[in-house]
Amino acid sequence: MKLALRPWLVLVHRWAGLTLAGFLALAGLTGALLVWYEELDAWASPHLLRAVPPTPQAPMLDPLDLRHKVQAQYPGAYAAVAPLHLTPGHAAMVRLFGLPGSAGQLQEPPNDQVFVNPYTGEVLGERKWGDITQGMKNLVPFIYRLHYSLALDKAGETLLGIVALLWTVDCFAGAWLTLPAPKRNRLSRHATPWLLRWRPSWQLRVGQGTYKLNFDLHRAGGLWTWAMLFVLAWSSVAFNLHQEVYDPLMSTLFDHQRDEQGQAKASRPNLAPALDWAAAREVGQQLMAEQAGLHGFSVMGETLMVHDPRRGPHGIWRYQVRSSRDIRDRWGSTQVIFDADTGELLHVWLPTGAAAGDTIRTWLTSLHMAALWGMPFRLLMTGIGVAVVLLSITGLVIWVRKRQAREAR
């Protein structure tokens, strides 16, 4: 069976590799940089992301006060997201969203991110996330756009989702091709054990010519990094083709928590709910404490609040924290969603421990974003990104050399 399958897998690996090489090289290079997104963004735009306290012991303002100050300065947009976790020395970022115009169409604001000094409430600047025409302040967000959508928005996102799906398949095809062919005389006492015959696939032949070294870098490099390459490929499908491929497949294999995004949209956005931001925060804290007791987790800190005036009959509030159910180093996604007028609990979402499918996705996406295990894993994922670039290059070199050899016959 393996002998009949191998020639077919050779074709799959060859043409998939040639098709994907350019995309994967770009994804690997940008991904290696995005491991350090926050640091690079602060380096490129210190005037936006750095905040100096007026005095060494100056306290930071309440996050909702910062959000209110931004809203007052941008009456033509809606500050629907408020960060609840502030970092000393760093600006707070408030997201702006468009408001319906007289014709009912959303009027997108010219900039959708506003940066605020958390000590004084002073607006430090703004930007349209990912718009490289604004210059250096959008360099790192633009790299992010290249990474997940080729900076082509939905069309590019779908294209890279297809690339990720082909990459997932090619991960298995490439790994299979490294396996040794079965011995004809398996019962011979002198037959070399299978693992020993597979061992050369994991090694580099140094000093035996550049072609053999390039071939070994491609084969062994793919084997040593295979687990993370598969994680990157399949998690990319989860990011870019979640409705089309990932969710339908994974939902047949694993349980998932109910998706609150299925709620019907409100007929008109409710921009002035009965629960204002301060009251909603108190309700969120109370609901989260109740859920912590029911599900046996602890709350480590608030992360953000979101008001979506278009969901449900009255709009919804989303209150998000970092809890013991979160596995990421820097962010939390444990959340409760409740009615914006009544405070009725509508949905609870736990990143791990509630449903196997959600736990798997949390692990996949957290590994992809290098959001686990601190600096050592971030360094590892930087190396994995570089490895993706090198595997793409070495694969192309192998194909060119073999084609030249065929043409020389």
- If asked whether residues 322 and 407 sit together in one domain, one would say no
- If asked whether residues 156 and 43 sit together in one domain, one would say yes
How many domains, in total, are found in the chain?
3
Tokens for 405, please give them. 């050899």
Sequence-separated (6 or more) residues with CB below 8 Å from residue 294: none
Q: Is the pLDDT of residue 2 over 90?
A: no
Tokens for 357, please give them. 């499918």
Confidence of residue 1 (pLDDT cuts 50, 70, 90): very low
- If asked whether residues 349 and 366 sit together in one domain, one would say no
Tell me if 186 is assigned to some domain.
Answer: no
- If asked whether residues 281 and 164 sit together in one domain, one would say no
- If asked whether residues 140 and 203 sit together in one domain, one would say no
- If asked whether residues 232 and 89 sit together in one domain, one would say no
For the chain, the average pLDDT equals 90
Q: Is the pLDDT of residue 112 over 50?
A: yes
- If asked whether residues 379 and 250 sit together in one domain, one would say yes
Q: Which of 313, 338, 354 is the last residue of a domain?
A: 354
Residue pLDDT, tens place only, 177-211: 888 877 665 555 566 777 888 888 898 888 888 88
Exposed/middle/buried for 134, CB within 10 Å: 0-12, 13-18, 19+? Answer: middle
Tokens for 4, please give them. 């009949």
Q: What is the largest CA-CA distance in the chain?
A: 85
Tell me if 189 is assigned to some domain.
Answer: no
Percent of the chain at pLDDT > 70 equals 93
CA dihedral of 387, 388, 389, 393, whole degrees rounded to 10:
100
Tell me if 373 is assigned to some domain.
Answer: yes
Task: Taking residues 99-106, report their average pLDDT.
Answer: 68
Task: Taking residues 387-391, report their average pLDDT.
Answer: 95
Tell me if 187 is assigned to some domain.
Answer: no
Q: By C-alpha distance, which of 107, 83, 108 is closest to 95?
A: 83
Residue-number span of the structural domain to which 120 is assigned: 55-149
Higher-confidence residue of 407 and 77: namely 77
Residue pLDDT, tens place only, 311-335: 878 889 999 999 999 999 888 999 9
pTM: 0.88
Q: Is the pLDDT of residue 266 over 50?
A: yes
- If asked whether residues 169 and 310 sit together in one domain, one would say no
For residue 335, the domain's CATH number is 3.10.450
Q: By C-alpha distance, which of 230, 229, 199 is closest to 216?
A: 199
- If asked whether residues 142 and 72 sit together in one domain, one would say yes
Q: Check residue 186 and give its pLDDT.
A: 55
- If asked whether residues 399 and 380 sit together in one domain, one would say yes
Neighbours of 275 (CB within 10 A): 21
Return the minimum-mean-pLDDT range out of 23-37, 44-58, 377-391.
Answer: 44-58
Rounded to whole angstroms, the Cα distance separating 10 from 398 reads 13
The per-residue DSSP string of 193-235 comes to PHHHHHGGGGS--TTS-HHHHHHHHHHHHHHHTHHHHHHHHHH
